[in-house]
Structures are given as structure tokens and as C-alpha cells.
């Protein structure tokens, strides 16, 4: 793959991308992320095909309309964005070419969602907790909670359940002791 240099890009598209790069850098730094992505790496994230598309959009005068910001009332999922490649990358404190991508806004929203196995950060957990604390629930809401719990047995466990839980605990502790022994030896 040939590296893209500023000389390979049309001057008007290059000026647009320089402005974009500066805004992206400023935004990431405002979010307390270290931005180690150089302008050359930023250009190479675009790729030749997308750069040609930007040039075509600039020629027909539709670049700003196609790449406009998305709002709640007018979502634009087809505009290009600089985005982390995954939810795990959003949690990293440093932004580099290895954990960033240029993609459509819709793809960025999909890639950055939590997936099975992803964990909330402590900061995120605290924010979620604080958002619900101290808010009174209406009588209708409390009635729905009561109705959802009605008929759900939380009483004593039967003998089969106790045996299953006991066997699982024994297996867990045996596995953990074996791992600790292996760690001390190795």
C-alpha cells in the first residue's frame, strides 16, 4: 500500500482536511485524550478512495451537506468521522493510527457500542449510579416493579440446587489452587 502524502491530495481537499484534523485534535484533547496521530497518519487513514470521494463532493458542491453534523432531529449517519475502532479503543487514553479509523458516522456508532464482555469504567459506573439515585418513583412505576416480582420464588433452595452450587464452588477453588501452585512453580 502506497503512503499518501499531502502532495498527493488536491489543495482544496487538503485545506479542508487540515481544518478537520485540527478540530479533531482539539476535541480529543478537550476530552483528556492524548492525541498522537500525525497529519500524515490522518491522511493515510482516509485512503485514496475516500479522498477521491471527497474531491468529487467538493466539485459538485455537496461536501458540506453530505458531511454535516448529525443532530437528534436530523441524523446524518453517512457523513465521515474520525472514530475509535472499538469500544475498547474508546477507553484508551491515547489516540494513535492503530486505534482510530475514518468511517461513516453509522459505522462509528456501531463499532463503539459496548459488546459482550466489555466492562464499564469506574467513572461510567458512578455516572450511571448517580443518574438514578434520589429520584422518586411514581406509584405506577412501583406497581410495575411489584407486578414483575410477583410469583418469582426467592425462597429456600432445593437440595439439587444446593448440591450444584456446592459442586461448582469446589471446582472453582480446586482450579484456583492449581493455578496458584502453577504460578509459584513457574
CA angle centred on 159, ends 157 and 160, rounded to 5°: 100
Mean pLDDT over each residue of the chain, to the nearest integer = 89
Q: For 67-113, how does the pLDDT look when each residue is reduced to its tens digit (9 = 90+)?
A: 877 777 777 788 889 999 998 888 889 999 999 999 998 899 899 88
Q: Which residues contact 10 (CB under 8 A, 6 or more apart)?
A: 55, 58
What digits encode the pLDDT tens for the residues 7-32?
A: 888 999 999 999 999 999 999 999 88
Q: What is the mean pLDDT of residues 25-53?
A: 92
Strands (E), the chain: 34-35, 80-84, 94-95, 100-104
Q: Is 139:145 a contact under the CB 8 Å cutoff?
A: no
**What residues contact 163, with CB distance under 8 A and at least 6 apart?**
none
Q: Find the mean pLDDT for residues 50-71.
A: 86
pLDDT at 1: 60
The model's pTM is 0.64
Residue 33 has pLDDT above 80, yes or no: yes
Tens digit of pLDDT for each residue in 126-177? 999 999 888 899 999 999 999 998 887 777 888 998 999 999 999 999 999 9
- DSSP 8-state class, residue 102: E
Amino acid at each position: 500500500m502506497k503512503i499518501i502524502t499531502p502532495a498527493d491530495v488536491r489543495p482544496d481537499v487538503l485545506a479542508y482536511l487540515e481544518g478537520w484534523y485540527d478540530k479533531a485534535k482539539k476535541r480529543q484533547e478537550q476530552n483528556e485524550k492524548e492525541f498522537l496521530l500525525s497529519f500524515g497518519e490522518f491522511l493515510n487513514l482516509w485512503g485514496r478512495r475516500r479522498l477521491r470521494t471527497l474531491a468529487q463532493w467538493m466539485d459538485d458542491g455537496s461536501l458540506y451537506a453530505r458531511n454535516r453534523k448529525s443532530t437528534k432531529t436530523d441524523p446524518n449517519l453517512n457523513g465521515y468521522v474520525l472514530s475509535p475502532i472499538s469500544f475498547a479503543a474508546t477507553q484508551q487514553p491515547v489516540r494513535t493510527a492503530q486505534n482510530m479509523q475514518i468511517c461513516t458516522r453509522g459505522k462509528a456508532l456501531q463499532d463503539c457500542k459496548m459488546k459482550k464482555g466489555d466492562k464499564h469504567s469506574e467513572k461510567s459506573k458512578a455516572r450511571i449510579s448517580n443518574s438514578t439515585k434520589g429520584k422518586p418513583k411514581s406509584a405506577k412505576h412501583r406497581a410495575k416493579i411489584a407486578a414483575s416480582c410477583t410469583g418469582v420464588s426467592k425462597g429456600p433452595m432445593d437440595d439439587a440446587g444446593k448440591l450444584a452450587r456446592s459442586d461448582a464452588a469446589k471446582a472453582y477453588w480446586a482450579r484456583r489452587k492449581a493455578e496458584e501452585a502453577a504460578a509459584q512453580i513457574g
